[in-house]
Structure 1
């Protein structure tokens, strides 16, 4: 019967990253991350240290959720979100589908001219340079996304949920070339483990312990990548074995 795998995939096929949220102030407000949306994955934040806020906007409305050590908040695909760093904010990001959000399932809320097509979006979001230069580029990208985010919030206030429709349509067009890779990650991660659970339940019903004898242990002693410039901050990433198709 099918098993749960080699131990390389985390329970439930989730992905994990430690995020040290950007502490560089915006052009018009407090420091924080880049507003963006995921199209296929739910995401959760567990606050490790510091304090702040996560702003969320979806068709149900705009909310602000205070964050402090021990807080956990999560949201489904279609929820635009942005972290505000109130001081020393560090979170553990829990992502569906083997960390698919860090593998492309994220679209920034750029102004419409940068969402016209995939090439325009990639030009606007690409980061260059190293060290401080790369940080400067990441912050410039964030501030550009904040312009589009402010417009979305303003239009939502006047027009309601329909204000998000054009952004969602543009986001879908941008990510469509990536869908084969996303499907592969889902099949080899969350779907495979869910199927393995069903097979285990079948075995338990007939008293078959064979799958228990194949159990393994997985371990990562340290992040597989540290200090990457992400959307919300500097990332320590734990790659858990599901690679690109």
Structure 2
């Protein structure tokens, strides 16, 4: 879960650290809100977008980073986040740019996150903090054995003879099977199948999206 904290700021505006499209900023805010509503983590979203863990939080959400959701990713967000497109880009979103001031990390033990200030036309500042708890050291996720066995069966049946991305696998599971699983469990199972111990799947980033296929 990404915590969102807003509080008044009396710090005076100087030169902005970041100037970005207002639409890009709104999309980030809406995605954070929707993730919290449905209980999906930013790492799970990163996985379904075909990216490594921390991609969404460490690159897209980080105010000082120039990475933003691209058009292909934005088209996927309504399906992944189970919402209409208007939830991602609300009607009436103003055009133009937004300026972010005093961007940086947060000195909050046990958390990682980012802070920035936005100013209203009247000059009133609001500090906005996006943060999430660090994963406990040594924590491990339990393996979903039913899901792992199903993926192994798909490998034997030839499904992974073609290169597949995580979202393709996720869609197939949701539409063709009545299996209960978390997205993080799917990620772990695929990671296991790609590991040296099993060596059943290969993986590679192709055109910026991680793909998985049967190791031969």
> Which TM class, normalised by the smaller chain length?
under 0.3
TM-score between both structures, scaled by the size of structure 1 = 0.24
Report 1 or 2 for greater relative contact order, CA contacts < 8 Å, sequence distance ≥ 6.
Answer: 1
TM-score between both structures, scaled by the size of structure 2 = 0.26
